[in-house]
Structure 1
Amino acid sequence: MMFRTGKKAWTIALCSLLVPICIGLSICYYFLDYLKDKVGEFDGAKLPVVVVGHSGCSFPVMASLLSDLEILNSELGRLALSAGLVMDVLNSIGSGLGTTIVSSLRTDSSDHDPNKGPALAIFSFLMFVGFLLLAIGTRPAMRWFVRKTPEGRPVNKTYTHLVMLMAFCLGLIGMFARQSVLAGVLVVGLVVPEGPPLGSELIKQLELFATWFLLPIFVTCCAMKVDISRHIDTNLILVMLVIIVSVHLVKMLITIGICRYCKMPKTDGLCLALMLSCKGVVDFCTLGFLHDSLLLSHDQLVIMALSVLVLGSIAGIGVKAIYDPSRKYAGYQKRNILNLKPNSELKVVACVHKPSHIGSIRNALEICCPTSSNPLLVHVLHLIELVGRSSPIFISHRLQERVSSGHFNFSEDVIVTFDLFEHDYAGTASVSTYTAVSPSRFMHDDICYLALDKLASIIILPFHVKWTEDGSIDSTDDNIRTLNSKVLGKAPCSVGILVSRGSSTSSYDTPTSHIAMIFLGGSDDREALCLAQRTIKECSNNLKVYHLVSSNNNEQTNNWDLMLDNEVLKGVKGYYGHVENVTYEKVAIEDPSETTAFISEIANQHDFIIVGRRNGIKSSQTAALESWTEFPELGVIGDLLASSDTNTKASILVVQQQQQMPKS
Structure 2
Amino acid sequence: MERLVGTITESVTYFSVAAWLLGELKIINSELGRLALSATAVSDLSNLVLCEFFSLVRCWVVSPSLAVGRAGSTIFFLVLLFGVVRPWMFWVIRTTPEGWPVEEVYIMIIVMLALASGMFTHWLDHTPLPGAFLIGLAVPDGPPLGSTLVEKFDCLANGIFLVIYVTTSAMRVHPKKMLADPSAVKFTCVFVIATFFAKFTSCFVASCWSRIPLRDYMVLSDATFSVLTLSILVNATIIPILVKYLYDPVLRKYACYQQRNIMHLKPDSELRVVACVHRTEHVSALVDVLDIACPTKESPNVVYALHLVELVGRASLVFIAHQKDGNRVAGSFHHIVAFNNYEKNNWGMVTVNAFTAISPSELIHEDVCTLALDKQASFILLPFHRK
Fold conserved between structures, TM > 0.5: yes
TM superposition shift of 1:332: 4.6
Q: Counterpart of 2:72 in structure 1: which amino acid?
A: L
Shift of residue 145, structure 1, vs aligned partner: 0.9
Q: Which is worse superposed, 195-204 or 57-66?
A: 195-204
Q: Distance in 2 between matches of 1:365 and 1:229?
A: 71
Residue in structure 2 matching 1:130, options 62, 69, 76: 76
Does structure 1 retain, via aligned residues, the 8 Å contact 2:276–2:381? yes
Question: What is the correspondence of 1:343-362 to structure 2 with a 5 Å cutoff?
Answer: 343-362=268-287
**Moved beyond 6 Å, runs of 4+:** none
CA RMSD of aligned residues (A): 2.1
Which one-letter code corresponds to 1:383 in the other structure? L
Percent identical among aligned pairs is 39
- From 98, 114, 119, give the equivalent of 1:167: 114
CA distance, structure 2, for counterparts of residue 50 and residue 353 of structure 1: 47
User: C-alpha distance in 1, partners of 2:139/2:329?
Assistant: 20
2:210: which partner in 1?
262
Once the 2 structures are TM-superposed, how far is the Cα of residue 341 of structure 1 from its aligned partner?
0.9
Q: Per the alignment, do residues 255 and 343 of structure 1 end up closer, same or farther by CA in structure 2, a change over 3 Å counting?
A: same
Number of aligned residue pairs: give it: 383
1:329, 1:448 within 8 Å by CA — same for their partners in 2? no
Q: What does 1:104-123 align with in structure 2 at a 5 Å threshold?
A: 104=59, 116-123=62-69
Classify the secondary structure of the residue corresponding to 2:377: coil
Structure with larger Rg: 1
Question: SS of 1:390's equivalent?
Answer: coil
Q: Do structure 1's residue 244 and structure 2's residue 200 form an aligned pair?
A: no
Q: Does 1:324 align with 2:270?
A: no
Tell me, yes or no, if the aligned pair for 1:135 and 1:170 is still in contact at 8 Å: no
Tell me the equivalent position of 1:84.
Answer: 40
Inter-partner Cα distance in structure 2 for 1:62 and 1:148: 35
SS in 1 for 2:69: helix
Alignment counterpart, residue 223 of structure 1, candidates 160, 170, 177: 170
Partners of 1:332 and 1:440 in 2: how far apart?
24
- In structure 2, the residue matched to 1:189 is 136
Seen in structure 2, the aligned counterparts of structure 1 residues 120 and 354 have a Cα distance that, compared at 3 Å, is same
Does the Cα contact within 8 Å between 2:18 and 2:40 map onto a contact in 1? yes
The alpha-carbon deviation at position 304 of structure 1 amounts to: 1.0
**What is the rounded CA distance, in whole Å, between the counterparts of 1:302 and 1:132 in structure 2?**
35
How far is the alpha carbon of 1:154 from its aligned partner?
1.2
Q: 2:225 aligns with which of 284, 290, 301?
A: 301
Q: Where do residues 519-534 of structure 1 align in structure 2 (5 Å cutoff)?
A: none
Unaligned runs of 5+ in 1: 1-44, 107-115, 268-288, 466-475, 477-664
> What secondary structure does 1:440 align onto?
coil
CA distance in 2, matches of 1:61, 1:365: 43
The one-letter amino acid of 1:195's match is G
Counterparts of 1:336 and 1:182, CA distance in 2: 51
**Structure 1 match to 2:89:** 142
Tell me the distance in 2 between the aligned counterparts of 1:326 and 1:337.
22
Aligned residue among 155, 166, 184 for 1:208: 155
The CA distance in 2 between the partners of 1:177 and 1:127, in whole Å, is: 9
Q: Secondary structure at the match of 1:369?
A: coil
Counterpart of 1:423, as a letter, is K
Is 1:443 aligned to residue 367 of structure 2? no
1:434 aligns with 2:355: yes
* Whole-Å separation in 2 of the counterparts to 1:315 and 1:129: 38
Opposite residue 255 of structure 2, the aligned amino acid is A
Question: 1:463 & 1:299 partners in 2: Cα distance?
Answer: 57
The match for 1:463 among 371, 384, 387 is 384
Q: Is the 8 A contact 1:97 1:128 kept in 2?
A: no
Aligned to 1:70: 26
- Partners of 2:222 and 2:71 lie apart in 1 by 28
Q: CA deviation at 1:316?
A: 1.2
CA 1:119–1:294: 2 relative to 1, 3 Å = farther
* Structure 2 gap segments, 5+ residues each: none
AA aligned to 1:394 is F
The answer for the alignment partner of 1:521 in structure 2 is: none
Q: Distance in 2 between matches of 1:295 and 1:141?
A: 38
1:62–1:81 Cα contact (<8 Å) kept: yes
Question: What is aligned with 1:280?
Answer: none
Higher helix proportion, which one? 2
Deviation at 1:255, TM superposition (A): 2.0
Query: Contact (CA 8 Å) 1:100, 1:179: kept in 2 or not?
Result: no
Partner of 1:423: 344
